[in-house]
Each structure stands twice: as structure tokens, then as C-alpha cells.
Structure 1
Amino acid sequence: MEKLIQDFAYGLFFWQALILLVLIFLLRKYAWKPVLDSLNKREEGIKDALQSAESARKEMENLQANNEKLLKEAREERDSIIKEARQIKEKMISDASTEAQEKANSIIIKAQETIKTEKQAALAEIKAQVANLSIEIAEKVVQRELDNKEDQMKLVDGMLDNVKLN
């Protein structure tokens, strides 16, 4: 170390210091500034990219929430449509059942009226036949002029056996 101090040259030191300062000045002006500027630009680019990613993430969350909301609304609408369709189906079945019951009742009433009408017609025909038979019997009884009641009864019974009812 002593040898360094004894051989120390102030001129050489001055020129080396001056070259170092000039070199630092040149590096600062032409190298450090562009390097720092590019580092700052890169840092800002990274910050912008992070902000863009964050905003994209938030937008995706919002879109996902909107999609879930739309999906929920679509499910609710589907359920309401299905419920309405079931109600319409039940109403149609009920209406058809009521209409069929009304038609069946109408047919039954018409059949009962037809039966009643035919029954009345049959009774009227039977009454007419009985009246005709009674008149025929009376005519035959009068024609014979039988004195005996027993002979009259035999005659009436015989005539009744010969008569065919429709």
C-alpha cells in the first residue's frame, strides 16, 4: 500500500477522474436516460396491462352475473309458460268433460222422452184393442141372447183365449 502512495501521480489521477466524469455524463445523457425511459414505459405498460386485466375481470364478472340473471329469468318464464299450458290443458279437459256430460244427459233425456212417447202410444193401442175386444164380445153376447150366465162366461173366456195381444 505504501508503494501505491509513493507512486501516486496527480496528473494521471486528474485525467482519470475527468474521463470518469465525462463518461458518467455521456452515459447519463445518452444511455441512462433512454434506459430509464424504456424502463418507465415498460412499467407503465405493465400497469396498464394489469388495469386492463382487472377491468376485463370485472367486466367478465358483470357479464357472468348478467348471464345468470338472464338464465334465471328464462327459467322463470319457462316455468310460467309450462304452468299456463297445464292450466289450459286442465281447462280444456274440464270443458270437454262438461260438454260430454251435457251431451250424454241430452241423449238420455231424449231417450226417456222417446220411451215415454212409445209407452203412451202402446198404451193407447192396447186401450183401443181392449175397447174393440169389449165391443166384439158385447156384440156376440147380445147376438146370442143367452139366458144362462154360465154360458156367457164360457163364451167370453173362449173369445179371450182366441185373441192375440200385440
Structure 2
Amino acid sequence: MIINKQEFYVNGLNYTVRSAIEKDAKDLSELRVQIDGETENLDREQGEAFIDVPGFEHIIKTDTESKRNLFLVAVVHDRIVGFSRCQGNQLKRFSHKVEFGVCVLKEYWGYGIGKNLLQESISWADSNDIKKITLNVLETNDNAIKLYKKLGFEIEGVLKNDKILSDGNYYNTIIMGRFNE
């Protein structure tokens, strides 16, 4: 689905949040690899589960055509610096919910980009009869957990010893959800 673009000015930075378009595919492919190498908060290590340009073109096309999917990008001076996706399920029993995921370049943390991508996603979900948004977050990502709680998400469960990070230790994944009646 497509949303109207939104302009933001946070901590001296102007940026736009808009729906992804097919010509973003090359930048998204490169950006995803870079972000995966900057943080252990995500599921992948750098280069894992690589999505090439045609792969992103297909995802963007599918998400644009689906009423249950939303692919957003955050843009600073014509450069994509972050993105998020809400992905629905075609099964009837799950048609009321979507799963949210987000990533932002480390140099752009602290500008509310992830927050605004999520708020735009929540607004889209609420206006499109999507009752529930779910997400997974690493237990050590305190800032994200605080933000999610502030925006109405609650902890629904914990996947124990779910991930192994570079320090060789196991970490829990927290499952959170926001239900809009």
C-alpha cells in the first residue's frame, strides 16, 4: 500500500518518510547490508540473507499492491537512511494483523527516524482496519523497548536463548504486540 509522504524536522535534521518505490531497490539492497554490519539488534549478520536489486523490486511491487503490506523509507537529502515494513498474512485467521520491522543507519540514530517510521505504520494500520501489529526485539535493545511501550506495545512473550551474538552469549528475543480494538 502507498501512504502520503510526511516531512519531519528533528534535532536539526530534515527528513521525509514515504512509501518505497521500485527505483529505491538498489539503494535498499546496499543499505540493508550496511545496517546489518552496524548493529547486533537485527537478526542478520552483514551479508546474510542478501536481497539483490530484483529481490527488492519484487518486495516493493508486492507491498505496493497489497492492502496488508506497507514498505516505508526515510530519506535525508535524497539518500535513504532507514526503512520499515509491515507484512501481513493472506491466511484469513491472521488477516487482522501485520508484523513490523525497522532498521536505520547508525549515524542517523537519535533523530526519531525509527519512531516516525513506526508511527506512520501505526497510523496506516489503524486506518486500514488492521487490529494488531507485532514485532520482535532483542532483550538488550532498551531504547527500542521503551519506545514500543510508549507507543502502546506490550510484551507478549519471550523466546529464551534465541540468538547468539558476537560475544558468544545467548540472548532472549522479546515478542511485543499492539492491539487496536
TM-score, reference length from structure 2 = 0.16
Q: Which has a greater percent of strand?
A: 2
Greater gyration radius? 1
Query: Larger relative CO (CA 8 A, sep 6+): 1 or 2?
Result: 2
TM-score normalised according to structure 1 size: 0.17
